[in-house]
Chain A
């Protein structure tokens, strides 16, 4: 949200590259898992048609994706869902649709999760009570008796940044709800982004950084360099699964002022980078040209290469639809979907 981030993009790219020059800083996690994450692995991603937000349509699509992209074992676990509630507008699809999150809660409970929590720390509007109410999350959480946590005001503790060369965020304050999650699921909206090009599962993790330490907007993340901040957060806080709401996304002047783009898909999988790379291709974006995705691969947060990603369900070339790109990002356009 910082204007500086826009005008200083070139300088920040250089700085971020320098800060990441000791890579890889590896991947890990709030809780150890047995999953391997290196560039030799094959990451499975489910690309599932889901034409609307009807409860039965969503349940079927989520079940299909859950079966195709092997999920983490959630039985008896404490599962935290992190949607994207960047803001609310009655006219623009800014936030993850609450009906998708409701369907996911039901799926997780049926699959044996001991506890399901919904948690979000909106980025620049401090008025979370209003946001949760307007977006329907307050009502849904009440009906399903799911805790709805404002991460901006959660208890926090500093965690060593996984990047040993980190400067601005050497110690990253993180919410207790995130740090104590057994399984963290990122559920963003499929959107373009005026500073980052696209905002997907990894960028959604900006919302775990608490306002009580970093404010509204969390401007330090922009001054640190958006790409570097995304990679540092993703390397420090492990996302175990991603479900991207591409049923209706946002194109053009995203992530707040863009226009609705109906894609009719869910993109799901365990490796956030592989899921994001697939989502980018669905949008007609070359993931290798998105700075933070390329950097994430360099620091071994997964892979964005098609050869490393097994896409199950629909084919990208069948389900993809070009999103209008934000000004200044025309070079991200994918020339040919495979």
Chain B
């Protein structure tokens, strides 16, 4: 499926989605409340069949967090990117997608550990790299660590 058809299809499924131009993959920003439903649709639909979540990252954009889902279909070979924005820095959360793509379980734990975004319905949301009780989330832009990070 090419970008134009994919765009039509996604905007048909989620009218509130925003299509981003000039990205390496067709990119859509969707409201976080619709994430789980759309993800299940993307994975289950025979024409779309996005069954392979090949990258899941979190980005701190200072005024909001962005969770980026890189998806590929192993049958049709097309790729796309879903983005979800989380604006609450303290209590921010998004729906977990690890019941759809199992690889998300570890990646969501990593995002929780390093960025501090919670995932609802995650089976085992603990820190993955840092120890329990670590102060703060290192990949945040406002993270300070006087001992390990040297400012030049």
Does A pair with B? no
Residues of B within 8 A of A (CB): none
Residues of A within 8 A of B (CB): none
